[in-house]
A and B are shown apart, each in its own frame.
Chain A
Amino acid sequence: MSVKSSDAQEAWEPKILAFCCNWCSYAGADLAGLNRTQQPPNVRIIRVPCSGRVDPQFIMRAFQDGVDGVLVAGCHPGDCHYSTGNFFARRRFLLFQRIFDYIGIDPGRLQNRWISGAEGDKFAATVSKVTEDIRALGPNRKLRDEHE
């Protein structure tokens, strides 16, 4: 499945990258698995120690590479394993959304959620919801590098 082939328009499936912190949201994803909670297969997870580790350049690069949506998931505010990392993530996220809005990209392409290690259902629901949101927005054309 290559998102870059433009003739695959009909078969287009959103490709979504999720950054999950090791302690909460990745554990939430694990729990969803343990509970066998079915989810759309569009999300690929990159495990990071903390949502505060997510550098804006990772997100930009993902969009340039042709990803249709990015989810950054961390611990609930106040529950960060590293006490404050998710606050930085939240601040960056808000800034990012404003930049997206400003440059004419739907801010919904970048989503931010707080999911604990006990919230398997919430993780699965988030994957479904984000997949539907991105599907509704259609393929990411504006941000991706066209070098083919």
Chain B
Amino acid sequence: MKRVGVFVCHCGSNIAAVVDCERVAKEAAKFPGVAFSIDNKYMCSDPGQDLIKKAVEEHHLDRIVVASCTPRMHEPVFRRATENAGINPYLFAMTNIREHVSWIHTDREKATEKAIDLVRMAVAKVLHTVPLEKSSIPITKRALVIGGGIAGMQAALDIADNGNPVVLVEREPTIGGKMPMLDKTFPSLDCSACICTPKMASTDQHPNITIYTHSEVERVDGYIGNFQVTIRQKAKYVDHKICTGCGLCETKCPNKKIPNSFEAGMGNRTAIYKAFPQAVPNKPIIDAANCRKLTKDKCGVCAKVCPTGAIKYDDQDELITIDVGAIVMATGYDLFPWKEAYGEYGYGKYPDVITGLQFERLVNASGPTSGHILRPSDGKEPKTIVFIKCVGSRDDVKGKAYCSRTCCMYTAKHAHQAVDKIEDSHVIVFYMDVRTAGKGYEEFYQRTVEDGVHYVRGRVSKIYQLGDKLIVRGEDTLLGEAVQVNADLVVLATAMVPSAGSGEIAHIVGFSTDKDGFYQEAHPKLRPLETFTAGVFLAGACQGPKDIPDTAAQGSGAAAKASAVLSNRSMETDPLISQVNDAVCAGCGVCVGICPYRAIELKEITQRAGGKTIARRVASINSGLCQGCGACVAACRSGALDLKGFTNQQIMAEVDALCL
């Protein structure tokens, strides 16, 4: 015989003022299975919890029902009280007669009836509970960081400083991301490379960090604490163990006209190259598609000049597998492909219409023009420069509905730099709004205005070439009049979009993206660094447009989250997850596709039937991955799946009890 104890809480007068708690307890005593029932002023208080303990001893109770406030608040408290009373904490049910009864009703009779119904349902449910145990899974003490921009470097450094090994995978030949491409950074205008390259070097030199550049994550299996990761190290054709990074090969390579993506297409590189002089690792790779030796079996100069014999034309991709306990995603952003969308700005056919990132390279002392702002078409210094903001941002027709957050500030920075570097310059910024939320940001923008930069509120409707001028036509919506500027250079502040291939890598790692393709955080406010997949965290612009301060903060935050996972040898898992009845499972696999956590796999089992051993496939739940949503249970055709703590039987009993 099951012996249920029912405890009805007054919550002072919060419940008792509207619900006749004594009557609820009296009625509950009549429900099948109830051996004891009582009402009490404050169940969550120490005396209230002691009451449970005493009642269990005196009345030999084996199941507990508490009728009080929302289980979203006090369920853990009463589970613990149940456990303290010597009963398995899952032989417990809670029902909410405060938020769902006394606080929303005034009619005492009706409220009391409703409370009695709810208690009857909880008793029916608890009769069908079974003891459940938490299980524990081991944790591999190593983290993987995907993407080596400022976000990824910050995360890797913090995890490593915490004492755990980190593997950093970067698909470009160097770490650093966009930051080393920038000239100066707002709002303090310190030199970007000067603050970024030391970070790159510390990442490289940290004893706990292993970097794989020119590499991509190809496969991820497993779950929190136990991920198995396959990394493809793409062929570099240079043996980095032997190469000293002297750079002789680069000076001799005959193919010198390959657009360098690090220069945002404004400068060239050779086929064997380092993206920039401070690249990390500071050793070149061969770009196979542009190498004469690798494409036509001619040349071979680099091998001839290399003093250490590091060139390896027969280099192959290599697959590396590692086990990690936590993953930080830091794949950053790309810029919106404006040339495909903005016909009014010439679809990219005017060489002097450039992007903000290209402008960064033009003002950068280590860039293709050694820091002189010279226009691409004729190398002359532009006098009249137009900046256009929100190209692809806040434009749900041609681009994206969202604000890219960094452009107002970097455009202010660029405008300031133009005024600063070019004598008698005339700088005009077309804007929709100026958004400068951030410490010291508004002050920075105001200084730019004081510098003499002319801000025009309105959109540019047309750009066309006339002689060596770009005619920029727009509207000043504040004055309500048309504006025309005869410009020498136009700079577009293009939107930030998720980096190429981010959808694919999200799929490989196993978490979701939002409607714009950025990585989906588990909660927009309270869990911004987590994904829905336990053990996978987010840092930087891959989660949404961000500037460097926010990116660095997120990198540290994600590192703290990952370190918390790695700080334990093992972790407890909630037992309220799905379970399979092998005998009933038909192995159809419907549940496999439904599970958002990839927690279900088909496994082979053998069984004896008619004197023979037969093998068949059944669903199998991974307790590390299952989050207990129950979607698979409702979808299971054969009724082989059930959700512990919310079983079909329990819910059916609740339904039935409602109408008794």
Please report which residues of chain B, range 466-501, place their CB below 8 angstroms from some CB of chain A when the two chains form the complex.
none
Shortest CB–CB separation between residue A16 and chain B, in angstroms?
Answer: 10
B629–A30 touching, CB < 8 Å:
no
Q: Digit string of B628-660 for contact with A (CB within 8 Å is 1, else 0)?
A: 111101110000000100101001101110110
A71 within 8 A of partner (CB): no
Label chain A's interface by main secondary structure.
mixed
Chain A residue at minimum C-beta to C-beta distance from B125: A46
Chain A residue nearest in CB terms to B514 = A78
- Measured between alpha carbons, how far is A60 from B107 in the docked complex, in Å? 31
Q: List chain B residues, Cβ under 8 A from A50.
A: 629-631
Q: Are B655 and A65 in contact (CB under 8 A)?
A: yes
Q: Which residues of chain A have C-beta atoms less than 8 A from B659's C-beta?
A: 3-4, 15, 62, 65-67
For the complex, give the distance between the alpha carbons of A17 and B651 in Å: 12
Interface-facing stretch out of A80-88, A95-103, A105-113, A131-139: A80-88
Cα(A50)–Cα(B107), bound, Å: 31
Q: A14 an interface residue at 8 Å Cβ cutoff?
A: no
Once the chains bind, are B658 and A65 in contact (CB under 8 Å)? Answer: yes
B interface footprint on A5-30 (CB within 8 Å = 1, 0 otherwise):
00000000001010000100011011
Instruction: Compute how far the CA of A118 lies from the CA of B352 in the bound complex, rounded to whole angstroms.
Output: 50
Q: Is B118 part of the binding interface, using a Cβ–Cβ cutoff of 8 Å?
A: yes
Q: Is the CB of A55 within 8 A of B105?
A: no
Residue interface mask A33-47, B partner, CB < 8 A = 1: 110111101001111
Number of B interface residues at 8 Å Cβ cutoff, please give it: 46
Tell me if A122 is interfacial: C-beta within 8 Å of chain B: no
What CA separation (Å) do A65 and B630 show in the bound complex? 24
B-chain residues with CB within 8 Å of residue A56 when the two chains form the complex: 634
- B330 contacts the other chain (CB 8 A): no
Query: Is B433 part of the contact surface with A, judged by Cβ < 8 Å?
Result: no
Bound Cα distance from A136 to B199, whole angstroms: 69
Interface flag for A92 (CB, 8 Å) = yes
- Asked whether any CB of chain A lies closer than 8 Å to the CB of B134, the reply is no
Residues of B591-637 at the interface with A, using a CB-CB cut-off of 8 Å, are 594, 596-597, 627-631, 633-635
> Could you tell me the distance in whole angstroms from the C-beta of A1 to the nearest C-beta in chain B?
6
Which residues of A line the B interface, CB within 8 A?
1, 3-4, 15, 17, 22, 26-27, 29-30, 32-34, 36-39, 41, 44-50, 52-58, 61-62, 65-67, 78, 81-85, 88, 92, 124
Can you give 19 A-B contacts (C-beta < 8 A)? A1-B113, A22-B72, A33-B98, A33-B103, A33-B104, A34-B103, A38-B104, A44-B117, A44-B658, A49-B646, A53-B630, A53-B643, A53-B646, A65-B658, A67-B655, A78-B515, A82-B596, A83-B596, A124-B104
Report B's interface with A, CB cutoff 8 A.
70-72, 96, 98-101, 103-107, 110-111, 113-114, 117-118, 121, 512, 515, 520, 532, 576, 594, 596-597, 627-631, 633-635, 643, 646, 648, 651-652, 654-656, 658-659
